[in-house]
Amino acid sequence: MESQVAKPASASHDFLMEKRGNRRALTDVLARWGVTVGGVMVFVALLLIFFYLLYVIKPVFDPAKVTPLHRITLASDSLSLMVGADEQNELVYRVSEQGAVDFHRIADGSTQTKPLPLPADVKVVSSAVSMPNQQLFALGLDNGQALVAGPGFGVSYPDNKRLITPGVRYPLGEPLIKVAQDGTPLLQLAFALSSDKVTFAYRNAAQQWFLTRLDGEQNMLTEEVEWQQHHVNLPNTPAKVEHSLLTPDQRQLLLHAGNKVFIYDVNEVDDISLLQVLDLERSKAKVSNISLLAGASSLLVSYNTGVVAQYFQVASEHGRLYQYIREFQGLGNISALAGEYYRKSFASISHDGTLELLYTTSQRELYSHKFDLQRPSAMAFSPRANALVVQAGDQLQLFAVDNAHPEVSWSALWNKVWYEGYPEPQYVWQSTSGSDDFEAKLSLMPLAFGTIKAAFYAMLFAVPLAIAGAIYTAYFMSSKVRSLVKPTIEIMEALPTVILGFLAGLWLAPLIEEHLPGLLVLLLMLPVTILLSAFAWSHLPARIKLILPDTYQELLLVPVICFVGWLAFAISPSIELWLFHGDTRQYITNVLGINFDQRNALVVGIAMGFAVIPTIFSIAEDAIFSVPRHLSNGSLALGATRWQTLTRVVLLTASPGIFSAVMMGLGRAVGETMIVLMATGNTAIMDWSVFQGMRTLAANIAVEMPESAIGSSHYRVLFLAAFVLFVFTFIFNTVAEVVRQRLRERYSSL
């Protein structure tokens, strides 16, 4: 009977154990699959981020494209003063040199001719065009008058359909302006116009050059603009002038004669002077034309050898003078140049029909192709730079232009570039400006440099403190104090970085500026005081040491450190008065010649160091504390001291974990945003000085992404900056893992 009762109990126990084993096996399988799927999803998420960044960045490096759209046959093949198109590329216009504007509608092929109000029996003897963005032209007449006009386009929506109506506009109100008071013909006319000022430069039949300026002032009663005219003779002008240009700001007049350009300062009519004679001489080359690039800061000089050179003003001992900057070669026998309205791109077309798109800032050839164009003579971009109008013989041809991001190239992103107005090639990040003529400066070098600089100073502050603290906490500190210190430091990691940045920018930065000598004294006094305190403690009598148990001995340093900190800042004003003449900042700036910004790398290093310390400390402390006890006990048993055991056994064994901790902290510092954003001046400069700020990749993205236009070059370059940051962290983490694995293999036998 007993055996019969025992068997069912044993079977029931075996059944329960088998059931529990099956449940545990199922749990293990589910956990394994859950971890695997989670890891795969993390990897997939990283790949999606990687490829999405590439997807947004790719259009920046796409080549430019030019596609023929429409061909219009003209009544004659006479030369055109100006060609162009409206903003929507629905109308193409042509201004003849004899005073008529022809508008050609692309949709139906119709043509409208708008004659200009020229006086009877008056001939056009000269002509000039404005900068492309103004779309104005002037005709010089043989009676001393000038006709200033430009094509205009009115937009209406009858029956909810857009209708663009062409016309001719007269920016001065009246089409005809009396320029030469004596009625002499206006030969080789040049003009420039603004809302309150108009300037004409011309030559008369006696080879004399004159300048006429009209200053406008609005009548407060009638609200009409009243013009006052000034007329002066230009001194020391060259003979046989081939081309004349006036800058849009009406400050400079450029006269091209032979292989020289005579540049006059005409800002003040009563004080005109020759500013510079620019020598354009080249062996076996002759200047064929000169023109102004968008913004009128650069002069483009084309030669009959197929070279286009760029000149702009650079600061020198004698003021701002034009200087050779760069050139484009192999453009053939150039027939016409055309610049964009606002960007630094321009197009050239040669006699054989080869069309090229070029960008000056990055010195890039964007596009080159030979089209069936016979005798090209005039060319112009549309307002949006998405179309190009070319006159070739008796035909007008409209080309579609796809050139969205000419300002971006690998050389412009990572090499020094000579920007307009700068004294030399530099790394510059300046993405926006208040001017339409702004030359975008999108170098990523200052941002990458700032990222490395901020991380360097943060790690310089954090690594010694975090690792030394981890070593002491894990190896020397008593378990009771460790149970308080370790969670306290780890909980610091939960502190929002925006709070640290706020405190660093508004409290720490002014504090350091005011007590900089005290901070320097603190860096010297603190380690010396700690060593002296340890030395004094070791020589105290045993009865005094027993008053405080060994468990809490390290807490004796807390009041010492607090006192030293207070003392250093208390004596800071006296040291500043004694060594730095009462003002440390002025001494650093004026005597040492070092720029001092209140929000600088020192502030960022301290603030970001506090953010990085918990990460490094926690991982390093765990690595050191996890070293098997039998290793340290065996070393101590063989007669080694605790310090020898630490340096030759414990640290070597824990080195993979310590290195991982440092690299994790570095990755955190590289990607930090809010502290750098709030604790530094966000100046994109390349200077290792601890007293100057920086701009990092992450902070730049946070600042500029909200204001960037979607799809613009600025927008895509910001995504490129994010991609560079992604690559930075990936490289750091990869290097950390490789080194950690090698250290583990090397010291795993201990």
CA atoms of 591 and 79, how far apart (whole Å): 65
pLDDT of residue 529 exceeding 60: yes
d(CA 132, CA 385): 11
Contact 151, 84 (CB under 8 A): yes
Angle at 451 between CA 449 and CA 452, to 5 degrees: 65
Average pLDDT over residues 483-499: 85
pLDDT at 750: 56
Q: Is the pLDDT of residue 346 over 90?
A: yes
- How high is the pLDDT of residue 256? 92
How many C-beta atoms surround the C-beta of residue 686 within 10 A?
A: 17
Last residue of a domain, one of 339, 365, 399: 339
- Among 202-211, 291-300, 479-488, the minimum mean pLDDT is found in 479-488
- 462 and 581 in a single domain? The answer is yes
pLDDT at 628: 82
Please check the confidence at residue 483 and state whether its pLDDT lies above 90: no
The answer on 483 and 335 residing in a single domain is no
Question: Are residue 544 and residue 671 in the same domain, yes or no?
Answer: yes
Task: Calculate helix-pair angle for 601-625, 479-491, nearest 10 degrees.
Answer: 140
- Kindly report the CATH number assigned to the domain that includes residue 499: 1.10.3720
Consecutive H or E run containing 232: strand 225-233
Classify residue 454: in a domain, yes or no: yes
Confidence of residue 15 (pLDDT cuts 50, 70, 90): low
- What's the CA gap between 169 and 114, in Å, rounded? 11
Domain extent, residue 498, equals 445-709
Q: Phi-psi category of 581—alpha, beta or left, where left has phi over 0 and alpha has psi -120 to 50?
A: left
pLDDT, average across residues 548-557: 71
325 and 459 co-located in one domain: no
**pLDDT at residue 5 in the model:** 47
Give the 3-state secondary structure of 314-381: EEECCEEEEEEEEEECCCCCEEEEEECCCCCEEEEEECCCEEEEEECCCCEEEEEEECCCCCEEEEEE
- Quick one: pLDDT at residue 2? 47
* The total number of structural domains that make up the chain: 2
**39 within some domain:** no
The side-by-side arrangement of strands in the sheet containing 345-350 is: 334-339, 345-350, 354-359, 364-370
Sign of CA dihedral 690, 696, 698, 702: positive
- Helix, strand and coil content of the chain, in percent to the nearest 5, comes to 40, 25, 30
Tell which of 339, 366, 394 closes a domain.
Answer: 339
Range in 9-18, 73-82, 613-622 the model is least confident about: 9-18
Contact 262, 238 (CB under 8 A): yes
Q: Mean pLDDT, the chain, as a whole number?
A: 86
Same domain assignment for residues 470 and 617: yes
Tell the burial category of 520 from Cβ atoms under 10 Å away from its Cβ (0-12, 13-18, 19+): middle
Average pLDDT (535-539) is 81
Model-level pTM? 0.84
**Mean per-residue pLDDT for 352-377?**
90
Condensed to tens digits (0 to 9), the pLDDT of residues 137-166 reads 999 998 889 999 999 999 999 888 888 999
CATH number at residue 212: 2.130.10
Does residue 287 fall inside a structural domain? yes
User: Which of 676, 660, 655, 659 is CA-nearest to residue 458?
Assistant: 676
597: three-class secondary structure by DSSP = coil
- DSSP letters spanning 476-543: IS-HHHHHHHHHHHHHGGGS-HHHHHHHIIIIIHHHHHHTHHHHHHHHHHHHHHHHHHHHHHHTS-HH
How many whole angstroms separate alpha carbon 406 and alpha carbon 64? 8
Q: Is the pLDDT of residue 749 over 60?
A: no
Under DSSP, the state recorded for 97 is T
Paired strand residues for 321 = 314
Residue carrying the six token digits 């005798």: 375
Instruction: Say how far apart CA 534 and CA 556 lie, in whole Å.
Output: 10
Amino acid 1: pLDDT:
42
| Higher pLDDT among residues 549 and 85, named by residue | 85
What residue has token string 């005290």?
Answer: 518
Through-space distance between the first and last CA atoms of the chain, rounded to whole angstroms: 61
Determine which of 118-132, 691-705, 732-746 has the lowest per-residue pLDDT on average: 732-746
**Bridge partner list, 51:** none
Residue 190 to residue 604: CA distance in whole angstroms: 55
Confidence at residue 3, expressed as pLDDT on a 0 to 100 scale: 47
**552 against 617, higher pLDDT:** 617
Cα separation, 646 vs 632, whole angstroms: 8
Decide if pLDDT at 223 tops 70: no
In this prediction, residue 733 carries a pLDDT of 79
Average pLDDT over residues 670-699: 86
Q: Which residue has the tokens 């006086």?
A: 119
Q: Are residues 559 and 682 in the same domain?
A: yes
Per the domain annotation, does 192 fall within a domain? Answer: yes
Domain boundary among 288, 313, 339: 339
Q: Reply yes or no on whether the pLDDT at 427 is more than 80.
A: yes
Q: Would residue 747 count as lying in a domain? A: no
pLDDT at 551: 66
What does the pLDDT average to over 297-311?
A: 91
The 10s digit of each residue's pLDDT in 502-512 is 888 888 888 88
- Flag whether 377 is in a domain: no
- Domain for residue 419, yes or no? no
What pLDDT, on the 0 to 100 scale, is given for residue 748? Answer: 61
pLDDT at 382: 92
Q: Is the pLDDT of residue 310 over 60?
A: yes
pLDDT band for 684, please (50, 70, 90 cuts). confident
Please state, in angstroms and rounded to a whole number, the distance separating the CA atoms of residues 99 and 280: 34
- The CA distances from residue 27 to 13, 20, 24, 36, 282, in Å, are 21, 10, 5, 14, 84
Q: Are residues 322 and 450 in the same domain?
A: no
Give the burial class of 106: count Cβ atoms within 10 A of its Cβ; 0-12 exposed, 13-18 middle, 19 or more buried.
Answer: middle
DSSP codes, 721-748? HHHHHHHHHHHHHHHHHHHHHHHHHHHT
The values of phi and psi at residue 741, to 5°, are -65, -40
Residue 650, helix vs strand vs coil: helix
The half-sphere exposure of 175 on its side-chain side, counting CA atoms within 13 A, is 14
Nearest to 620 by CA among 571, 646, 655: 655
Strands 395-402 and 209-218: unpaired
Q: CA 310, CA 256: separation in Å to the nearest integer?
A: 15
Examine residue 731 and state whether it is found in any structural domain, yes or no: no
- Do residue 123 and residue 260 come from a single domain? yes
